Structure 1
Amino acid sequence: RFIIEDHGCGMTAEEMENNLGTIAHSGSLAFKNENEKQDDIDIIGQFGVGFYAAFMVAKHVEVVSRAAGSNEANRWESDGADGYTVAPCEKAENGTKIVLTIKDNTENENYDEFLEPYRIQGLVKKYSDYIRYPIKMDMTRSRMKEKPADAGDDYKPEWEEYTENETLNSMVPIWKKSKKELKDEDYNSFYTQKFYDYQPPLCHIHSSVEGAVTYTAMLFIPSHAPMDYYTKDYEKGLQLYSNGVLIMDKCADLLPDHFSFVHGMVDTADLSLNISREMLQHDRHLKAIAQSLEKKIKSELLKMQKDKREDYEKFWAAFGRQIKYGAYVEYGAHKELLQDLLMYHSSTEDKLVSLAEYASRMKEDQKYIYYACGETIDKIKLLPVMETLSDKGYEVLCMDDSIDEFCVKMLAKYNDKEFKSIADADLGLDSEDEKEEIKKLSEDNKDVLEALGKALEGKVKKVELTSRLKSHPCCLRAEGPVTLEMEKVLNQQAAVNGGQSVHAERVLELNAEHPIFKKLCALQAEGSDKVSTYADILYTQALLIEGMPVDDPVAYANAVCNLLS
């Protein structure tokens, strides 16, 4: 048997009939309504609702209660199936005693686990740790007996068991304490113990809000991502309490996906203890709390970005991809909220910078925010067009994450400045005279460009001259919505998922000032068949520079060897 007993106000026979005889009737709520003018009345739940959960583990329930100021006591009994009985009985003190006769074990359920002290202790600690009244239980302990005075040298220590009435719950939650009482060490210790992390958090958010909704929140930004964070097994959510009683261990509705890395809890009096998961999803108080928390988390992250840059870069290394994903999904619905949190490697600063920092350094006549995508930062810096932008003194954001280009395409602009990939045909750097010059050169060398295009038919859409190159002979770009980086990412996903491959419309660009182009013009004038060989070599080199797969490496190697021989 399992016994729960208090020395409170107790119940009369009539109150037993009303509170225990009707499922979901709340005598505690009625008590509160009768005393609504008294501000110090604190009712945590509806007794009649939670009480009937006892029959989930008990085959017989007995309640003995004596009301305060009464000399009579009554016993309520039920097997949970055929009604109940209420009869007078004897009880020395006022209060209530509940006796649960636990069900017999079955093949699938071990009901006797609820008679184990440490199981009970764990349940109280999990669900009622912060109720502000002590929950005590007799715990069996062992200790060494005192050594007798006449014991000899061969005396062996003896142990004895004893019973100690121990308080199981801590009663006062840390989030209910004043911020002035707490130090960083207190927050860190609470976090590592509560969330089983071996490292302290990067920062904590301790917030109390009163108004349309009233709640207290304590949130933590972890210093590293859990092992399963970027998997489908990860479960987001905050612990949700109502007046210190745990309602839900992980309430996903309190956190948007882009802030799913946040740990913590929310305690509010605006929710009922017996609210269901379905009702929670549509609760307006919960939605208001979630919106408030979202703003608070963003504010704290921006503050970290400004004042504790090293910590923010740790955060970005762990959860930056999630922020980018949040700005991209749902057709960019959250991009305005998240864009200031984004960080990218700067070609001029050689470190991570925010979009605001990049915008503050833009030249007066700069039309675009330039960015470049690639496998690594080092490879991006070696891209042919980077040389031109660097010589002109333009800062380029280097992006080496597979989601970067998708995210930037969704952002489109920042502070009314468009994002411009260095792979685009027009970077906005050429004057009208320079554009006319390239146009004239293209017309004068039409035959060469057509011959190269014919040699690469099926591989590129066209071959054209460009002013985007300085020392490199050629480069590759894409036309249309699918860029070269997108092609790589989408084809990697297709290879994993068995989907259809994607191909961008490729354009081979040639540097009109490079000796290679002049060589091509000479070969064309001679009517040499080496033009097609040069075309294949230049195209393959452009693929290699972009990190694209080469269709026939052997043919490429043989072509280079033939030219060298």
Structure 2
Amino acid sequence: MSKTQFKAESKRLLEMMINSIYSKKEVFLRELISNASDAIDKIYYKALTDDSLSFEKDSYYINVETDHENRFLKITDTGIGMTKEELETNLGTIAKSGSLAFKTENEIKDGHDIIGQFGVGFYAAFMVADVVTVISKALGSDQAYKWESTGADGYTIEPVEKDAIGTEIILKIKENTEEESYDEYLEEYQLKSIIKKYSDFIRYPIKMEVTSRRLKEGSENDWEDYKEEQTINSMVPIWRKNKNELTEEDYEKFYQEKHYGFDKPIKHVHISVDGSIRYNAILYIPEKIPFDYYSKEFEKGLELYSNGVLIMNKCADLLPDHFSFVKGMVDSEDLSLNISREILQHDRQLKLIAKNISKKIKSELQSLLRNDREKYEEFYKSFGRQLKFGVYNDYGMHKEELQDLLMFYSSKEKKLITLDEYVSRMPEDQKYIYYASGESYERIEKLPQTELVSEKGYEILYFTDDIDEFAIRMLVNYKEKEFKSVASGDLGIESEDDKNETEAVANEHKELFDYMKNTLAGKVKDVKVSKRLKSHPVCLSTDGELTIEMEKILAMMPDNPNMKAEKILEINANHEVFKSLTDAFENDKDKVDLYTNLLYNQALLIEGLPIQDPVEFTNNICKIMK
């Protein structure tokens, strides 16, 4: 029997495909099962237009079996089969898709149900097999044929005996090498796992003889192994079922089965779209944060299916970074895939699906915030940081989309509130949305800088996340109300009388403040009388965009940019410490130096900043005590 050579182009393509097109060898089984499903689909479509054909779904299946001893893996289908000419055309010419031709000939709408489109998937078998044998008998034919190939050197076709219509693909699995083991493609457990992973939702049963255990008849503790045929795949995916048929438990079970998380999801979203682009999706908002969520190891993305066949485990392009916590899947017939069906071509359809999904996630989160505040706050404690990062990221591109989802702790309510809730209850005379930053709510509560704002009766938002101030600076304002730190130079609160009084004190003691400024040269930008302090003697405020809390966060970064806030030392002119300063200024400049350094270090400690010379600081305290 003579061997037919592949055409030169096909030979090169086969060699390239075996070595580089597919990133994972296990996808060969996905491709062969998808082809088998196509073959059954073709009979189904023929039956729609041919009255002499009937389609009894129970008679159609795909069978997977192994012969471990001889290293054979066989995939059998009861589909339409192939004639000698079709074997020659479809398998002898690489990238000649029989499924694509069938769709064209039968005027089946592109992408509808028939999976195959490139005609290269079959050749993925050569990644794991030394010899590939195809035995096929076509619908309406009396003769079966065997196609066989050992790879790029060509193939043979010869007539054989076969009773049933359909196709058998027999792979002679490669021997193990030092670099790679091929035994897993003969192991029952591994084959089941691959089928469940990629082909769980193929619409026809995928049957396999599996080993089970049972008690021997008449025995109480003596077990035996036995073989039984099982259907491995689920067949009907949950996302194609009517939502009215599904319960909360069904969605939770799917979440667990797909290993999206070990928690119980806070909310699920079931989407079915049948418009310019068709897709189904099931999305989950998790309850608990994954252990690696804020690490480089975490991969965002949704599972992507094409006609029920898994294409990608993590399709990152379907989720924006700020919604990277969302788990779930998307199934579409309209996606443009590359030749290996592993990678998406970045096209308009994909972007449209991603845009719609993002809108839906935001809508569902807003609904959760309105209708189940407790659950939303639970979600926010886990993933609020990611939303705030989304506001800051990409130069604020998504800030308007996310601003209504943000929450911050309120000085008045003693709980998380939204920006909308803050603004809705602002007094008419309040110009700004005030905030204070610190390591914890308790520490912020005690900050001297909050005194004037609190005395005025204004609400303060407490920022304890390192991203908070950066996000708010990117947001700039909310509903035309600008954000203002309680430590900023001008709080916009003082009355004209207060301003005049402060200015008078500043003029009266100008020499003292200038002297203190020189004493702290290089440490502070200025020393001045405070407008905000009531009971505390001293505090630090800032001038410019960079605040003290932002300086601390930048200092912790690996590539520390060494950026410093422009600090101003503010002195409370109504505190008894100020009298000590003015008395010392008239009689003892050394004491003024001592007091100035003590007050400066005291202000640093209040802010949680390090003291440059702790020994000098303690010695100065001892001097005062003497």
Bin of the TM-score, shorter chain as denominator length:
over 0.9
Greater mean alpha carbon deviation, residues 47-56 or residues 273-282 = 273-282
Q: 1:108 aligns with which of 148, 170, 179?
A: 179
Counterpart residue number, 2:519: 455
Q: What secondary structure, in the 3-state scheme, does the structure 1 residue paired with 2:595 have?
A: helix
Per mean C-alpha deviation after superposition, the further-off stretch among 419-428 and 157-166 is 157-166
In the alignment, which residue of structure 2 is the partner of 1:502?
Answer: 563
1:116 partner amino acid: E
1:83-113 superposed Cα distances (whole Å, 9 cap, x missing partner): 1111211111211111111111111111122
Aligned positions of 1:201-350 closer than 5 A: 201-272=265-336, 280=344, 282-350=346-414
**Does structure 1 residue 475 correspond to structure 2 residue 536?**
no
1:516 counterpart = 2:580: no
CA distance, structure 2, for counterparts of residue 469 and residue 264 of structure 1: 52
On the 8 A contact 1:44/1:273 being kept in 2, the answer is no
- Which residue of the other structure, out of 550, 558, 564, is the alignment partner of 2:619? 558
Q: 2:152 is paired with a residue of what secondary structure?
A: coil
Question: Cα distance, 1:465 vs. partner?
Answer: 1.2
Change (3 A) 1:275 1:257: farther
8 Å CA contact retained: 2:337, 2:344: no
How far 1:519 moved relative to its partner?
2.6
Rounded to whole Å, the distance in 1 between the matches of 2:576 and 2:109 is 92
- Structure 1 segment 65-464 matched on structure 2, within 5 A: 65-147=136-218, 159-195=223-259, 197-272=261-336, 280=344, 282-464=346-528
- Kept in 1, the 8 Å contact 2:131–2:171? The answer is yes
Deviations 1:412-439 (A, max 9, x none): 1111111000011111101233223322
Q: Deviations over 1:336-359 (max 9, x none)?
A: 111111111000110001111111
CA–CA distance in 2 between the matches of 1:446 and 1:39? 82
Which residue of 2 is the match for residue 58 of structure 1? 129
**Shift in Å at residue 197 of structure 1?**
3.0
For residues 35-64 of structure 1, what are the alpha-carbon distances to aligned partners after superposition, in whole Å with 9 as ceiling and x for unaligned? 226899731223732101010011111111
Q: Which letter maps to 2:211? A: T
Give a deviation string over 1:200-232, Cα, whole Å, max 9, x none: 111111111122221111011111111111110
Cα 1:156/1:132, change in 2 over 3 Å: closer
**Percent same amino acid at aligned positions?**
57
Question: Deviation at 1:196?
Answer: 5.7
Structure 2 vs 1, CA of residues 291 and 524 (structure 1 numbering), >3 Å: closer, same or farther?
A: same
How far apart are residue 66 of structure 1 and its match? 0.9
With over 3 angstroms needed to count, the CA separation of the structure-2 counterparts of 1:272 and 1:76, relative to structure 1, is: farther
Between the aligned partners of 1:37 and 1:491, the Cα distance in structure 2 is: 62
One-letter amino acid matched to 1:560? I
The DSSP-based 3-state class of the residue aligned with 2:429 is coil
For 1:27, give the aligned amino acid: G
Change (3 A) 1:276 1:361: farther
Choose 432-441 or 78-87, whichever is displaced more: 432-441
Preserved contact between residue 35 and residue 41 of structure 1 (Cα < 8 Å): no
The secondary structure found in structure 2 opposite 1:357 is helix
Q: Which residue of 1 aligns with 2:117?
A: 46
Bigger CA drift: 48-57 or 449-458?
449-458
Instruction: Give, in whole Å, the separation in 2 of the partners of 1:381 and 1:40.
Output: 61
TM-score by length of 2: 0.85
Alignment of 1:547 with 2:608, yes or no, is yes
Work out which of the residue numbers 19, 28, 47 in structure 1 matches 2:99: 28
Superposed CA RMSD in Å reads: 2.0
Distance (Å, rounded) in 2 between the aligned partners of 1:342 and 1:275: 43
Counterpart-to-counterpart distance in 1, 2:392 and 2:480: 18
Q: Quick one: structure 1 residues 353 and 40, their matched pair in 2 at CA, closer, same or farther if it must change by over 3 Å? A: closer
Tell me the alpha carbon deviations over residues 129-177 of structure 1, each in whole angstroms, 9 at most, x when there is no partner.
Answer: 0111111112233433323xxxxxxx78655543322111000111111
Question: Letter of the aligned partner of 1:530 in structure 2?
Answer: K
1:10 partner amino acid:
G
Determine if contact 2:260/2:327 at 8 Å carries over to the other structure.
no
Tell whether the 8 Å contact from 1:49 to 1:274 is kept in structure 2 after alignment.
Answer: no
1: CA distance, partners of 2:222 / 2:448: 82
Q: Which amino acid aligns with 1:515?
A: E
Deviations 1:506-541 (A, max 9, x none): 110112222222332222233543111111111111
Cα separation, 2, equivalents of 1:192 and 1:30: 40
Q: CA deviation at 1:273?
A: 5.9
Deviation at 1:275, TM superposition (A): 5.1
Quote the residue 2:62 is aligned against.
none
Q: Is the 8 A contact 2:527 2:571 kept in 1?
A: yes
Distance 1:483-1:25 versus aligned 2 partners, 3 A rule = same
1: CA distance, partners of 2:236 / 2:136: 29
Q: Which amino acid aligns with 1:541?
A: Q
Q: Structure 1 stretch 325-334 or stretch 39-48: which is displaced more?
A: 39-48
Q: Partners of 1:270 and 1:38 in 2: how far apart? A: 11
Query: Which stretch of structure 1 is more off in the superposition, 188-197 or 2-11?
Result: 188-197
Amino acid in the other structure paired with 2:459: E
Alpha-carbon distance in structure 2 between the residues aligned to 1:25 and 1:94: 22
Normalising by structure 1, we get a TM-score of 0.94
- d(CA) in 1 for partners of 2:111, 2:518: 88
Classify 1:555/1:486 alpha carbon distance in 2 versus 1 (closer, same or farther; 3 Å): same
Unaligned runs of 5+ in 1: 148-154
CA distance in 2, matches of 1:112, 1:272: 34
Amino acid at match of 2:569: L
Counterparts of 1:156 and 1:547, CA distance in 2: 70
Conserved? CA contact 2:433–2:483, under 8 Å: yes
The amino acid that maps onto 1:351 is K
Compute the displacement of 1:118 (Å). Answer: 1.3
Name the SS for the 1:79 alignment partner.
strand
Q: Shift in Å at residue 302 of structure 1?
A: 1.3
Q: How many angstroms does 1:376 deviate by?
A: 0.8
Change (3 A) 1:286 1:468: same
